[in-house]
């Protein structure tokens, strides 16, 4: 202890000496700046001394102060929040990164180059990502009962039961949605000018439709029932002779509600010339999907929602019977002319590997998120009242949307600094507007305001959920104790009966 103290005073003295030496106007700098003996005296640091430069040496410093920024050293003391926002994006699976790295280092060819080996190997990798049937045997697990399976290596096309030639790589689900909706509508605009979608779609679908409305298309935005699921009869009634496209998302990104895609597909198939598009960004790799069984004509997939890289996605565009669309991008005619531009080989490989892993791990992942969701709900329900689950309880369990009555969602988010969460209005998180998805479900404004979305995934652990429950219970209690509304509720006053204008 004593020696540490003495050494630290020595350091301060030396640093001061050095500082003085460099600030005094020395005309010529040499490597070594000797200082006079008068400056070598050791002074004690007063106890009130406050300076960031004051430090005590660690055993691994070998007596030197290392000036280079030590990443680990800085980060070790700063704990990162728990990540529970898997609907926004998922971490890249280490196995995916491992598959990508060769294409980010030595195998940098343009997959469209036909004249040399660099191009060929990149092309081969991209096509394998689209679909590979190398018969590799893998072990899979189903729920808690781990038993052992033979698996074929299967990638994007296989994950959704498609033909690999039907897969078009894009930059993400946003682009796939734009391409599908605008593409089909514009291609058929001479005869058909009507599109059907729902009110709970992702912003990029709704905005694509809005854009088409500006181009004089007619758009029907179907409402949803209280649980967030579409009414099939309403859908059927909305289809007109001039309808060209029905677009309904598979899994909602805010509530986890699963739409009856198979039934919708069957209804749409009955009407000739109407195409069915589904935004499956949140569904692919998480619930089983099959484009043939479900009669899906177009599908949007995102790489970064299935533990793949950001910046890549895919559109499934059926070729038999052929779905025609007007491409948005013009250019070299890559991807069947639907999406010109050089393919990002490394990203495509990453997405392919992510899809392959998703298929193998789907059952295990689903069991994990189911268990975690139940753990969260049980933990909260037993300890706080007035918590409402938004959306269908039979939705995708990896997305749990809860409203905490008498608590403001944004304040709750601020208080929960140790947890990376988003409120219901995730996509437009900059705005304080209550989520349009929750309002479409019929949630009251105040409940839509107080919602939080918990997104679990492959890598979430039970310890993390335990931590979240503890924090959440304490925070909700604290915020409610400060709330006058909560006090009135405790006294048994019906808040909805109060005529606020009188006051």
Partner 1 sequence: MSPPVPPSRKTLLHLYAATLRASRGFSSYNFRNYFLARTKDAFRGIQNESDPAKLSSFYHAAVEELAVLKRSAIVNSLYGGWKLVVEKDKIERTRGVN
Ligand X SMILES: Cc1ncc(COP(=O)(O)O)c(C=O)c1O
Give the residues lining the site for ligand X (CB under 6 A). 172-174, 202, 204, 249, 253, 279, 281-282, 302, 313
**What is the smallest separation between the CB atom of 197 and ligand X, expressed in angstroms?**
12
Q: Across-strand partners of 258?
A: 251
CA distance to 98, 126, 238, 326, per residue, from 346 (Å): 11, 8, 43, 27
CA distance 376 to 468: 8
Buried b (16+ CB within 10 A) or exposed e, 132-147: beeeeeeebbeeeeee
**Kind plus residue range of the DSSP H or E element containing 245:** strand 243-247
Judge contact between 134 and 143, C-beta under 8 A: no
**What is the smallest separation between the CB atom of 141 and partner 1, expressed in angstroms?**
6
**What is the smallest separation between the CB atom of 389 and ligand X, expressed in angstroms?**
19
Q: Which is nearer to partner 1, 71 or 320 (CB)?
A: 71
**What is the smallest separation between the CB atom of 149 and partner 1, expressed in angstroms?**
9
Nearest to 255 by CA among 140, 61, 393, 122: 393
Partner that binds at residue 138, options partner 1, ligand X, none, CB closer than 5 to 8 Å by kind: partner 1
Q: Which is nearer to ligand X, 15 or 310 (CB)?
A: 310
3-class state of residue 333 by DSSP: coil
**What is the smallest separation between the CB atom of 75 and partner 1, expressed in angstroms?**
5
Partner that binds at residue 249, options partner 1, ligand X, none, CB closer than 5 to 8 Å by kind: ligand X
Q: Which is nearer to ligand X, 109 or 256 (CB)?
A: 256
CA distance to 17, 51, 57, 67, per residue, from 48 (Å): 21, 10, 20, 25
Q: Say which residue the tokens 């608590």 belong to.
A: 407
Catalytic choice (204, 209, 399, 427): 427
CA distance 490 to 497: 15
Bond from prior residue into 321 cis (ω within 30 degrees of 0): yes
Partner that binds at residue 95, options ligand X, partner 1, none, CB closer than 5 to 8 Å by kind: partner 1
Partner that binds at residue 467, options partner 1, ligand X, none, CB closer than 5 to 8 Å by kind: partner 1
Residues that bind partner 1 (CB under 8 A): 4, 56-60, 72, 75-83, 91, 94-95, 97-98, 101, 136-139, 141, 146-148, 150, 364, 418, 458-461, 463-464, 467
Q: Which is nearer to ligand X, 180 or 188 (CB)?
A: 180
CA distance 20 to 231: 79
Partner that binds at residue 253, options partner 1, ligand X, none, CB closer than 5 to 8 Å by kind: ligand X
Q: Which is nearer to ligand X, 192 or 286 (CB)?
A: 286
Q: What is the DSSP string of 261-294?
A: HHHHHHHHHHSTT-EEEEE-TTTTTTS---TTTT
Q: Which is nearer to ligand X, 121 or 279 (CB)?
A: 279
Structure tokens at 428: 């437009």
Partner that binds at residue 266, options partner 1, ligand X, none, CB closer than 5 to 8 Å by kind: none
Active site residue 209: no
Which residues, at least 6 apart from 133, have a Cβ–Cβ distance to it below 8 Å? 152, 153, 154, 158
**What is the smallest separation between the CB atom of 77 and partner 1, expressed in angstroms?**
8
Q: Which is nearer to partner 1, 410 or 464 (CB)?
A: 464
Q: Across-strand partners of 399?
A: 455
Partner that binds at residue 80, options ligand X, partner 1, none, CB closer than 5 to 8 Å by kind: partner 1
Q: For ligand X, which residue has the nearest CB?
A: 172
Provide Rg for the chain, Cα atoms: 29
Partner that binds at residue 463, options partner 1, ligand X, none, CB closer than 5 to 8 Å by kind: partner 1
Instruction: Please report the sign of the dihedral spanned by the C-alpha atoms of residue 364, residue 294, residue 212, residue 323.
Output: positive
Structure tokens at 276: 């069915």
Measured in degrees and rounded to the nearest 5, phi and psi for residue 317 equal -125, 110
Structure tokens at 501: 């204008």
**Kind plus residue range of the DSSP H or E element containing 390:** strand 387-390
**What is the smallest separation between the CB atom of 422 and partner 1, expressed in angstroms?**
18
Q: What is the DSSP string of 407-458?
A: S-HHHHHHH-TTEE-EES--TTTTS-SPPHHHHHTT--HHHHHTEEEEE--T
**What is the smallest separation between the CB atom of 31 and ligand X, expressed in angstroms?**
54
**What is the smallest separation between the CB atom of 313 and ligand X, expressed in angstroms?**
5
Partner that binds at residue 155, options ligand X, partner 1, none, CB closer than 5 to 8 Å by kind: none
Q: Which is nearer to partner 1, 221 or 467 (CB)?
A: 467
Q: Which is nearer to ligand X, 279 or 365 (CB)?
A: 279
Pairing of strands 275-279, 243-247: parallel
Residues annotated catalytic, as ranges? 427
């Amino acid at each position: 202890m004593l020696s540490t103290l003495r050494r630290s005073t020595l350091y301060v003295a030396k640093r001061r000496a050095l500082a003085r030496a460099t600030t005094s106007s020395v005309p010529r700098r040499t490597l070594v700046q000797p200082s006079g003996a008068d400056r070598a005296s050791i002074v004690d640091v007063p106890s009130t001394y406050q300076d960031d430069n004051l430090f005590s040496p660690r055993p691994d410093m070998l007596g030197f102060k290392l000036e280079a920024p030590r990443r680990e050293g800085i980060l070790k003391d700063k704990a990162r929040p728990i990540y529970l926002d898997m609907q926004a994006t998922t971490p890249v699976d280490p196995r995916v990164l491992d598959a990508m790295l060769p294409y980010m280092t030595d195998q940098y060819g343009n997959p469209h180059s036909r004249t040399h080996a660099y191009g060929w190997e990149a092309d081969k990798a991209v096509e394998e990502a689209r679909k590979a049937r190398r018969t590799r045997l893998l072990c899979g697990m189903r729920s808690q009962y781990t038993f052992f399976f033979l698996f074929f290596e299967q990638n994007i096309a296989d994950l959704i039961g498609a033909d690999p030639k039907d897969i078009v790589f894009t930059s993400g689900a946003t682009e796939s949605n734009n391409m599908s909706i605008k593409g089909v509508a514009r291609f058929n605009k001479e005869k058909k000018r009507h599109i059907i979608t729902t009110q709970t779609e992702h912003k990029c679908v709704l905005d694509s439709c809005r854009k088409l409305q500006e181009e004089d298309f007619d758009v029907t935005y179907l409402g949803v029932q209280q649980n967030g699921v579409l009414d099939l009869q309403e859908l059927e009634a909305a289809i007109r002779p001039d309808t060209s496209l029905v677009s309904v998302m598979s899994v909602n990104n805010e509530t986890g509600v699963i739409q009856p895609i198979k039934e919708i597909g069957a209804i749409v198939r009955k009407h000739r010339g109407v195409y069915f598009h589904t935004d499956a960004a949140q569904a692919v790799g998480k619930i089983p999907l099959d484009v043939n069984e479900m009669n899906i004509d177009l599908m949007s997939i995102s790489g970064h929602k299935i533990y793949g890289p950001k910046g890549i996605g895919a559109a499934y565009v059926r070729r038999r019977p052929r779905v025609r669309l007007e491409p948005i991008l013009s250019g070299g005619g890559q991807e069947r002319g639907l999406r010109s531009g050089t393919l990002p080989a490394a990203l495509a490989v990453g997405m392919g590997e992510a899809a392959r892993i998703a298929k193998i791990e789907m059952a295990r992942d689903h069991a994990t998120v189911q268990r975690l969701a139940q753990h969260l709900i049980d933990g909260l329900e037993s300890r706080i009242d007035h918590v409402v689950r938004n959306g269908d309880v039979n939705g995708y369990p990896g997305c749990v949307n809860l409203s905490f009555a008498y608590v403001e969602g944004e304040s709750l988010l601020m208080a929960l600094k140790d947890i990376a969460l988003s409120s219901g209005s995730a996509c437009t998180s900059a705005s304080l507007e209550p989520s349009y998805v929750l309002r479409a479900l019929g949630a009251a404004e105040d409940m839509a305001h107080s919602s939080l979305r918990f997104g679990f995934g492959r890598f979430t652990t039970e310890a993390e959920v335990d931590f979240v429950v503890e924090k959440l219970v304490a925070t909700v209690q604290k915020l409610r104790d400060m709330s006058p509304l909560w006090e009135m509720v405790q006294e048994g006053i019906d808040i909805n009966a109060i005529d606020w204008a009188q006051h």
